[in-house]
Chains A and B, each alone.
Chain A
Amino acid sequence: MPLPHSSFRFAPRQRLIEPPAPLETVLAEEPSPDFGEAIPENYDLDILHALVQDPFRIFIYWELQPAIWNTMRSLFSEDDISGLKTVLRLEEMTEGYEAYFDVPSRGSYWMAVYPGKQYQFEIGVYHAQFGFIAVLRSNVAQTPRGTISPEVDGDSKFRVGVEQFMRILEVSGFGSYKDLAATVLDEEAFEYNRAFEHLPESLRALIAQAARGEAISDEELEALPRHLRDLITAIRRQGGAALASAALLHFVPEILRWRLYEEEGRAPQIFPPPEISPRFLLGSSDLTLIPMKKFEWRPDIAERARSGRSRD
């Protein structure tokens, strides 16, 4: 596992012993906190950006200017306008699934996603009759795979055998994932074990097998959510069950984090807090709020809204 970043610059300079209190009379007056210059809260712009945090999380923020509603008035009748609402659309580009979220016209969201996928987001308006009309589209956000590649080099000079690669994983420090998985099985390691014990039985069995370096079958991989299962299966088909077990272990910290958070609404100190509502085993598509009726990509609407022009 990567080591925590450490740096001279800002490592805590906390006092580990209580120093004698300075005399109040010799202290300078406490300066009022300076939090810097005033900065705009909003920019009167239409913005939608997606930032990858890690293989399982994307941060999205957006601003949709009120002017958009002027344009909508030129497109819809007053009755229809009252039925419009602002909606965020997620598209997983690899397989093309999508999800919709009821959102305000300005805000941000931490999205639970999957490793090794491309995501794009759209902000638009939704109407029960007309469906979703996209106004803004985000950048494409690619989540890291978070584990080893299912592919070996096509050039025989650089093709690596499974056994050698397993050894490379060990000597490169990736054996620590195995250690972690072994720890979760250890009843003495309370925090880890507690999380482990709360996992579904099939998933516990799968992790235990991987931690012991035992082969895992396609059927046993059924315990994983589909996107992870597909990834591990691809590795298994190419490199065999042992490599698939090693890859599965790279996701154990996330599985435990999800479970702890779901159980207690907080993550213990062994992991940094997940900070979002995790849906690791459900997947973002389960957040779907609105059944899709119609998709229309209309980036020109934002432009029209800004320029104040009505629809031709």
Chain B
Amino acid sequence: MEQGLLALVLHAHLPYVRHPEYPDFLEEDWLYEAISETYIPLLFAFESLLRDGVKFRVTMSVTPTLSEMLADSLLQERYLAHVDRLVQLCEMELHRTRNHPEMHSTAQMYHEHFSTARSLFSDHYRKNLLNGFRNLQSAGVLEIITSGATHGFLPLVMRPEAKRAQIEVGRQNYRKHFGCEPRGIWLPECAYDPGDDRLLAAAGIRYFFVDAHSLVFGNPRPKYGIYSPVRTPSGVAAFARDVETSEQVWSSESGYPGDPDYREFYRDLGYDAEYDQIKPYLHSDGVRRNIGIKYHRVTGKVDLHLKQPYVPEWASARTAIHADDFIENRKRQCRSLAQFLGRKPLIVSPYDAELFGHWWFEGPQFLNTLIRKIHFDQDEIRLVSCAEYLDEFGEIQSQQPSASTWGAEGYNRVWVNPNTDWMYKHLHVAEGRMIELANGHQRAEGVRRRALDQTARELLLAQASDWAFIITTGTAVQYAVKRFKDHIGRFTRLYEGIKRDAVDESWLAEVEAKDNLFSEIDYHVYQSSS
């Protein structure tokens, strides 16, 4: 008998990284790796479930920046070149490991993995993975939602017009790629500020996600805690993340990906191989980096050089055990919650999509097995999408959720701190200037129109939450600073050019070619409402 409902939510996002000005650009690898390791394996898993008659519902955000990259012909061609090189390297690896049985089966697995990814990308999805996502949405198994246009961190955006532009451009981009209106939105970084829900309501959005403390600290106190959404003052529903399921998958101590049989992320052929052999597969700077072929398993808490060889069959067997464990825990959780809540709980389990496949190599297989087992092996929990839940359980508590994010400590610290505070003056000035330009140009045409649209793109790109996140985490700081300054610099030059009526057209064309996302953008989105 059904005891509860489970909403699996995958948040697929990458910042817009596209550098036509260079033949080879390191940070573009983020997309290529995610395509091979996450997006194609997830699509493949969902399609195989559909073919096998498994009934399931998964909610998935595909952010506008990711959608634009997946649909971009330059990046599609570069991905093909990237995966071709990997297939070639795998062929060499098959030969190199022929006398090393402990590695050879893994080499075969990679050869098959990248060859399949290549052929699916090229033939099945016709180089655009959005075709796959769209088909799954049409088939009724994926509910795809939108996000802020460039994953802008809304609580730190100062002007309502600029917040609205993030939401509206995201919505328009969703319509372009998915042919319908989005029902839900993934607020970038789950960052919610009371009042932002009004902007969502105005955009026709029905629901969004918050972290657990948003509802638990909300006003009034929530009767069902995080196990039912609440209705915000504007009428838009807020769903809260379940901490227990997050921990079960994410925790570095107790999470599934740390199982000794799973693939070890940090031991990579990019460092293990002979330099001369690997150099043709590195970037032009010749520096050793991870390239995505890894022959070792987690093993345990030992140094990397003590890691044991990866055994694909063992890892595969663990995914089934972990799927069973996940289901058993959800059953227990639902039984217990149903009893004291007096209704079926809804457990919302959101994850970064890229966890599955990239960090946790066996993640897509885990999801595949989990969803099959939920369908075939039990009847206590049911997968639902969030829109489906709202249709089925119309009456929900009204509440003002608390301001919150899913960042460390639950508020804005990851994005505004002494390492990133310098960014906000530039962003806020740019917001004001963009609104000033939009209000001052009711009907621009020609070069001026192009310049105004590009100015809007530059502001949106500067607003991406990713830059502050990278600076705070100290990973690719130089690149994040460069990107932020590039967009603010281009914005400022465009603004001054427009104000002086002296836009440099050839430079504008250059910038349009570089920052070419959102072809549909209309700068009027920044106009103040009268």
A→B interface (CB under 8 Å)? 1-13, 15-17, 19-20, 22-23, 26-28, 30-31, 33-40, 43, 45, 47, 49, 51-55, 59, 61, 63, 108, 110, 139, 142, 144-149, 151-155, 158-160, 164-165, 167-169, 171-174, 253, 272, 275
Contacts and interface: CB of A to CB of B under 8 A. Distances in A.
Interface of B: 13-15, 30, 34, 38, 155-156, 158, 189, 194, 211-213, 216-226, 242-244, 246-247, 250-251, 266-267, 270-272, 275-276, 279, 284-290, 303-305, 333, 336-337, 340, 352, 354-355, 358-359, 397-399, 402-404, 406-414, 416-418, 421, 424-426, 428-429, 466, 469-470, 473, 475-476, 478, 481-486, 488-490, 492
A170 B429 CA distance: 44
24 contacts: A3-B243, A8-B34, A9-B466, A11-B475, A16-B304, A17-B271, A17-B305, A28-B286, A30-B285, A36-B484, A37-B486, A38-B485, A54-B412, A144-B411, A145-B219, A145-B402, A152-B221, A153-B398, A153-B399, A155-B398, A158-B398, A160-B222, A164-B223, A172-B216
B337 A171 contact: yes
Contacts of B492: 39-40
Contact of B489 (A3, A7, A39): A39
Contacts of A13: 289-290, 475
Given A8-B352, A39-B485, A167 B340 contact: yes
A22 B286 contact: yes
A151 B421 CA distance: 35
Given A49-B158, A152-B221, A43 B421 contact: no
A159 B223 contact: yes
A123 to B, nearest CB: 14
A10 B470 contact: yes
Contacts of B411: 52-55, 144
Given A8-B359, A17-B271, A37 B490 contact: yes
Given A3-B246, A10-B473, A153-B397, A19 B288 contact: yes
A61 B424 contact: yes
Contacts of B421: 51, 59, 61, 108, 110
Contacts of B398: 153, 155, 158
Contacts of A1: 409-410
B485 A47 contact: no
Residue among B211, B220, B466 with the most chain A CB within 10 A? B220
B425 to A, nearest CB: 5
Nearest to A109: B421
Given A22-B275, A168-B225, A17 B413 contact: no
Contact of B408 (A17, A34, A51, A272): A272
A275 B217 contact: no
Nearest to B479: A34
B216 A148 contact: yes
A8 B413 CA distance: 20
Residue among B156, B216, B397 with the most chain A CB within 10 A? B216
B220 A149 contact: yes
A258 to B, nearest CB: 14
Query: What are the nearest 9 A-B pairs in CB distance?
Result: A37-B489, A173-B243, A36-B485, A8-B354, A168-B225, A19-B271, A36-B482, A54-B411, A2-B410
B483 A36 contact: yes
Contact of A10 (B305, B407, B475, B478): B475
A33 to B, nearest CB: 6
B340 A174 contact: no
Given A2-B406, A10-B473, A275 B352 contact: no
B352 A7 contact: yes
Contacts of A35: 478, 481-482, 485
A45 B436 CA distance: 14
Residue among A16, A27, A165, A172 with the most chain B CB within 10 A? A172
A59 B410 CA distance: 17
A153 B218 contact: no
Nearest to A160: B223
A173 B413 contact: no
Contact of A142 (B194, B213, B413): B194
B217 A38 contact: no
Contacts of B213: 2, 174
Contacts of B243: 2-3, 172-173
A52 B155 contact: yes
B221 A153 contact: yes
B476 A10 contact: yes
Contacts of B189: 5
Contact of A6 (B222, B267, B285, B352): B352
Contacts of A31: 285
A144 B15 CA distance: 29
Contacts of A12: 473, 475
Given A10-B476, A11-B475, A164-B340, A53 B271 contact: no
